[in-house]
Chains A and B, each alone.
Chain A
Amino acid sequence: MILHAGIIALLLGALLVGLVSLAASLLGLRILLRWNPQSSSQGQLQLERQTWLVGSLMNLVLGFQIFSLALFVYTLEDIHSLFVGAMCATGSLNANQIGWLALLIKLLLMFGAALWVWLNRLDLATPTTPLVKIKYRFLLLLTPLLWLDFYLQASYFSGLEPQIITSCCGSLFGLGASGVASELAALPAAPTMVWFYAHAGLLLLLLGLCLWSMRAFLRLLLLIASAGFILVGLVAVVAFISPYIYAMPNHHCPFDMLQGHYGYIGYPLYLSLFGGGLFAMLPGLGIGLRRYPGLQPLLEKRERLWLWLGVIGVGAFVVIASWPMVFGRFILLGY
């Protein structure tokens, strides 16, 4: 195994996340079987104390899980120079068969972890703790995925050999290649731009409408639109945002922009896309929770913050994506 600080941190972190989530799942099982807020028994008080402690620990470890996606990608960028043929994280991911699967699981877990932290914060802020069983059921689903994440990372990093000859973004996101990545890269720029900006406009309009109106169907539309925007945003990054950032018409790699010579612009770009999209989804997800006692006023109180964070995130993504188009000399549509 390559002894890189990022790899060691990721593996130890994933192991810690797995162990804490396993302990929390065991508590979750006890809660699902014995939780009774009406009881005055010592056992119930103990469960309440434990769920507070475990909830706080899970906030920390799942916070690490969210951050670990960025650390994973940063590490892949940092170690790519060890592999023949690799020019960026794409080359590192291609170095064995597990890399892309590990990235996909990390991406899924980033959203899962964020949603658990969100549920936990809502639950602990409500005197009736109405979500305690829901959040532990959700945790029971997350825990195997967290262990899968550890397993995949361990398998991926232990399978990396410096003598491996790998292929890089040019072959994966190139127009001559086959597969989803190259098909995304081959999307015609002008219609994709129209599609992207129309979707961003619709999403910002819905965010504004939700700030103004309390209607549930607007929030459900917002949920669908924001989930769709994350996908559209990723497609747009490959199809036309990356060529503008690199000022090269055939360079569609979504990872090169995470490197220092592009000013690490990829980090704020993805942070605003995922962060903005996630916050914009929360009011819609909250609709399903309104029926629980005591949650409605809390949701209404916090929703404005989520909506504004959604506006800031989506707005920042559009601005960062548009900056090189507006202020750069490169014009993709001319090619």
Chain B
Amino acid sequence: MTTLLRAENLVKIYHQHQPDEVRAVRDVSVAVQSGEVLVLRGPSGSGKTSLLSLLGCMARPTSGRLFFADQDVTRLPEHFLAGIRQQSFGFIFQQFNLVRELSVIDNVLLPLYPTRLGFAEMKRRATEILAQLHIDQRRNFKVAQLSGGEQQRVAIARALINHPPLIIADEPTAHLDSQLAAQLMEILTELHQAGKTLIIASHDPFVCDHPLISRRLNLHDGRLQEPGA
């Protein structure tokens, strides 16, 4: 296995040198291997989302270095990072972050617009991925008309549409009941079997103890603790 993502001594401080300074991530070093399923677990406020944002190149570390596929991406300007995110990362957000006024298929198509794909190919891809996630019958529905589980699957379809090697999911079961959470884990298992690398932040025991997970990292007050079993 090759190292897909490597963090060295990552530190993230919000509002630095101000009275409301927050040290969200403290000296975190971690290497994520290709094909691995890694869970970041910890209580609310432990820095999981901040660390995911750093690992997903959505925020810039205050200090430390981040390598993606052996390229140092720590100080790349935002438009370079946008390109890396668009090509290599699929994000599943806790709040889904879908555009509620748009239809399902238009939400899924969004990451493809900056690419040079023709519209017919874009629609073919979106239809295919929606069918895989069993949501294609709702393709023309507005997102606002969907249930939480359906919205979650649309968010997953959007994350997968660019065929990214790495999927980052932040509390993916937070808004799902146990049945939908089980369905989600089945989808994530299929993604893992398809060769995707997964980084999941969760404090849900159902996710953290799932057999799919190959490595667990505990985060507390922004620091990595001794790894769990």
Contacts and interface: CB of A to CB of B under 8 A. Distances in A.
B79 interface: yes
A46 to B, nearest CB: 9
Interface stretch (B59-67, B100-108, B155-163, B209-217): B59-67
Nearest to B78: A48
14 contacts: A37-B75, A38-B75, A40-B12, A40-B60, A40-B61, A41-B16, A45-B59, A45-B78, A48-B77, A48-B78, A49-B78, A52-B78, A124-B79, A127-B76
A129 interface: yes
A305 B77 CA distance: 26
B75 A52 contact: no
Contacts of B14: 42
Nearest to A55: B79
Given A40-B12, A41-B16, A48 B79 contact: yes
A42 B58 CA distance: 11
Interface residues of B, number: 15
B119 interface: no
Q: Which 7 residue pairs are nearest across A and B when measured between Cβ atoms?
A: A48-B78, A40-B60, A52-B79, A40-B62, A129-B77, A49-B78, A48-B77
Contacts of B16: 41
A257 B80 CA distance: 46
A40, A124, A129: most-surrounded residue (chain B CB, <10 A): A40
Contacts of A129: 77
Contacts of A40: 12, 59-63
A134 to B, nearest CB: 15
Contacts of B75: 37-38
Interface string A228-246: 0000000000000000000
Given A40-B12, A41-B16, A127 B61 contact: no
Interface string B81-102: 0100000000000000000000
A101 B61 CA distance: 52
B77 A37 contact: yes
Given A40-B62, A49-B78, 8 more contacts: A37-B75, A37-B77, A40-B59, A45-B59, A45-B78, A48-B78, A127-B76, A128-B77
B17 to A, nearest CB: 10
B53 to A, nearest CB: 11
Contacts of B79: 48-49, 52, 124
B12 A127 contact: no
Contacts of A37: 75, 77
Nearest to A44: B60
A39 to B, nearest CB: 8
A40 B57 CA distance: 12
A237 to B, nearest CB: 40
A306 to B, nearest CB: 23
Nearest to A124: B79
Nearest to A39: B60
Contacts of A45: 59-60, 78
Contacts of A48: 77-79
A42 B79 CA distance: 15
A124 B78 CA distance: 10
B16, B61, B78, B80: most-surrounded residue (chain A CB, <10 A): B78
A105 B40 CA distance: 60
A312 to B, nearest CB: 25
Contacts of B77: 37, 48, 52, 127-129
Contacts of B60: 40, 44-45
A41 B76 CA distance: 14
A40 B74 CA distance: 10
Contacts of A49: 78-79
Contacts of B62: 40
Interface in A34-64: 37-38, 40-42, 44-45, 48-49, 52
Nearest to A53: B79
A135 to B, nearest CB: 14
